[in-house]
C-alpha cells in the first residue's frame, strides 16, 4: 500500500522506517472494565470507551499501510462473565458491526472473523456475515476480529480437520497444521500488543505467535 506524504513525514518525524513496519499486528484488548471501575463507573462504560479506541487504532493502521490487524474481542472464557455483561457486549458488537460497515467500505478494508460460531446470537452472526460479504472484494487492510475465540480450541479444530481429511501421519508437518487453522492464508503476526499492562497471552494465537 502506498503511503501518503503526510504519513511518510509522520513516520520520519518518529524515526520509523516504513519498510520495517509490521505486516500483521495482533492486539489483546484488555482492561476496559477495570478502567471504568477505577473511575467509579460501571464496567459497561469502559466497553463503550473501548469501541472508540478500536476505531482510532483501525484508522491509524490503515494510514500506516498495515496489511492486517487482528483484534481479540471476545474469548471463550468471556462466557463466564455475568449474563448481563455478556448481553451488553453482544449488543455492542452488533451495533459496532452495523455502524462501522460504511467506514469499512470507505477505507477499502476487508473484514473477516476467526473463532467458533457456536453460541453466538443469530443477530450477531447475521451482521458479521454481512460485513464479510460486502467487503470481500476490498483490497486494503484486513481487519480480523477474534470472536468466541480460543487458541487451544483452534488447535483442537485443526486436528479434527486433519483427521477428517484422513491425512497420512508421515505427511503431517507445520504447513499442514497452519493450513487447518482459522488463520489459514493470513500472514503470521509480527507484533502482539496487550493493553492494560498485563503480560499474559490469554490463549490468543498460540500457534501463530
Active site residues: 30, 78
Could you tell me if residue 129 is inside a domain?
yes
**pLDDT at site 122:** 96
Q: Is residue 205 part of a domain?
A: no
CA separation, residue 178 to residues 83, 107, 168, 205 (Å): 35, 29, 16, 11
Residue 95, in any domain of the structure: yes
* Mean pLDDT to the nearest integer, 171-186: 97
pLDDT greater at residue 178 or residue 50:
178
Of 110 and 2, which is predicted with more confidence?
A: 110
The confidence score (pLDDT) of residue 193 equals: 94
Instruction: With cut-offs at 50, 70 and 90, classify the pLDDT of residue 70.
Output: very high
Confidence of residue 3 (pLDDT cuts 50, 70, 90): confident
In a domain, 1, yes or no: no
Out of 83-92, 96-105, 147-156, which region has the weakest mean confidence (pLDDT)? 83-92
pLDDT score of 40 more than 70 = no
Query: Does 171 reside within a domain?
Result: no
pTM: 0.89
User: Is 5 contained in some domain?
Assistant: no
Residue 124 sits in a domain of what CATH number? 3.40.1180.10
CA–CA distance, 86 with 113 (Å, rounded to integer): 19
53, part of any domain: yes
Rounded distance between C-alpha atoms, residue 119 and residue 35, angstroms: 28
**pLDDT attached to residue 114:** 98
Report the number of distinct structural domains present in the chain: 1
Residue 24 pLDDT class (50, 70, 90 cuts): very high
Answer whether residue 44 shows pLDDT above 60. no
Residue with cell 520495517: 20
For residue 134, is pLDDT > 50?
yes
Domain range spanning residue 53? 22-150+188-195
| CA distance readout (Å), 200 to 14, 85, 204, 205 | 28, 23, 9, 12
CB 112, CB 131: distance < 8 Å? no
User: What count of other Cβ atoms lies within 10 Å of the Cβ of residue 181?
Assistant: 19
Please tell me the least confidently modeled range out of 30-34, 126-130, 170-174, 202-206.
Answer: 30-34
Cβ contact 179:157 at 8 Å: no
Q: What is the full DSSP assignment across 96-123?
A: HHHHTHHHHHHTTPEEEEES--TTS-HH
CA distance 165 to 172: 11
Is residue 70 one of the residues assigned to a domain?
A: yes
The Cα 71–Cα 52 span in angstroms is 14
The CA–CA distances, whole Å, from 155 to 23, 80, 176 equal 23, 21, 12
Amino acid at each position: 500500500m502506498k503511503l501518503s506524504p503526510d504519513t511518510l513525514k509522520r513516520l520520519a518525524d518518529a524515526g520509523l522506517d516504513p519498510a520495517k513496519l509490521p505486516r500483521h499486528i495482533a492486539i489483546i484488548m484488555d482492561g476496559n472494565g477495570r478502567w471504568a471501575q477505577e473511575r467509579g463507573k460501571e464496567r459497561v462504560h469502559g466497553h463503550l470507551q473501548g469501541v472508540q479506541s478500536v476505531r482510532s487504532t483501525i484508522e491509524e493502521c490503515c494510514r500506516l499501510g498495515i496489511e492486517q490487524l487482528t483484534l481479540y474481542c471476545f474469548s471463550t472464557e468471556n462466557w463466564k462473565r455475568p449474563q448481563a455483561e455478556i448481553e451488553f457486549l453482544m449488543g455492542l458488537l452488533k451495533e459496532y458491526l452495523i455502524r462501522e460497515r460504511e467506514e469499512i467500505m470507505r477505507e477499502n478494508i476487508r473484514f473477516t472473523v476467526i473463532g467458533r460460531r457456536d453460541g453466538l446470537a443469530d443477530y450477531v452472526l447475521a451482521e458479521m456475515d454481512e460485513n464479510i460479504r460486502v467487503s470481500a472484494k476490498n483490497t486494503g487492510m484486513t481487519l480480523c476480529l477474534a470472536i468466541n475465540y480460543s487458541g487451544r480450541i483452534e488447535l483442537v479444530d485443526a486436528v479434527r480437520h486433519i483427521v477428517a481429511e484422513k491425512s497420512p501421519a508421515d505427511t503431517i508437518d507445520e504447513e499442514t497444521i497452519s493450513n487447518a487453522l482459522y488463520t489459514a492464508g493470513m500472514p503470521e503476526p509480527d507484533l502482539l500488543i496487550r493493553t492494560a499492562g498485563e503480560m499474559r497471552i490469554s490463549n490468543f494465537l498460540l500457534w501463530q505467535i
